[in-house]
Structure formats: C-alpha cells, structure tokens
Amino acid sequence: MSDRYPAEILIGGTIPQIIMAELIRVIVAEAVSLDGYGEPAATEEGLWQAFRQGAIVTLYDDQARYGRFDSLEVFLVRHQLHFDRRSSAFYEYNAEVVFYRGGEEVIALPADQDGHVMLRPLQVIGILDDSSLNNRAKLDAIRRLIAQPGTEPLTPIRFI
C-alpha cells in the first residue's frame, strides 16, 4: 500500500490546442479537484472552462500517491508542458516543490509546509567557508541556490 498525502499541481505556459482533449482526459482520470482539497473531482466541462480562462490552472489532490500526480506528470513532461507541483510532508517524506519548464530536467527541491523552497544549511555554509571564493563569488553562488535555473515563475496558459 502506498502513502497518500496532499499535493497540488499548477499548469501554465504554452499548450498546443491539438493535445487539449487528451490532457483533459488524463486530468479527469487522476480524479483531482479544481476547487481545493477535499472538494469534488473536476469534470471535463469544468476543466475546459478553467483552461480557456488563460490563467494558471491549479489542481488539488488530498490523497495523491506519494504526493505525486503520476500519469499527469508523465503526460506533461512528454508534451513539454510547464508545471509546478507542491507536495506536503508526510511522516518520513519531506515536503517538496517540483518545477518543470520543458526539456528533460524536472527539478525537485525540498520545501516547507507552505511550499517555499528551503536551502540546505550545509550548502550555504560550504559556500561561505570556501576560501577560494571572494565575497562576490560567494554571493553569486548563494543566489544560484536561491534562484535555480528552471524555477522561474509559471506564465499564464496560452494556446497555440
């Protein structure tokens, strides 16, 4: 039996019109909500309406398997559709935030319960203690930890 706990996924960016019907079917199969945790599963009609609004679409599942949207995430990566996922901490599983902005790399980072990315103190201490780096280089290295490439904010949905 798998552990199930709350997670949300935000979908944004450019979406080809030709795959919308399949995307909607994948989302319906996940039985996620558009309205929040514990709310009824989204319908095809409700999803079409949400996507047509041209905003970022947020989906919720309070019983996501290991805090993931397995089929949906595979579909999104296969079609290079941008998303963020926030998973809550649950027993031995840490909260995490996942970013995908196309290409092959899915970036998963530790997060707090509010979905804010957390820095690992040892990484920061390692940078600060590195005597081969001047102060400017240390600040640049810490900035890269905070604003990692591929973690830019999602853009609203745009159809092509």
**Contact, 91 vs 66, CB < 8 A?**
no
**pLDDT single digits (tens) 49-87:** 999 998 999 999 998 888 889 999 999 999 999 999 998
Cα radius of gyration rounded to whole Å, the chain: 18
Whether residue 115 is predicted with pLDDT greater than 80 in this model: the reply is no
Query: Can you give the pLDDT at residue 143?
Result: 81
DSSP-derived secondary structure letter, 18: G
Q: Enter the pTM of the model.
A: 0.81
Q: Domain range for residue 108?
A: 4-118+151-159
* Residues above pLDDT 90, as percent of the chain: 53
DSSP-derived secondary structure letter, 113: T
How many domains, in total, are found in the chain?
1
Tell me the two tokens of residue 117. 């990315």
Residue 142 falls within a domain, yes or no? no
Residue 144 falls within a domain, yes or no? no
Residue 25 falls within a domain, yes or no? yes
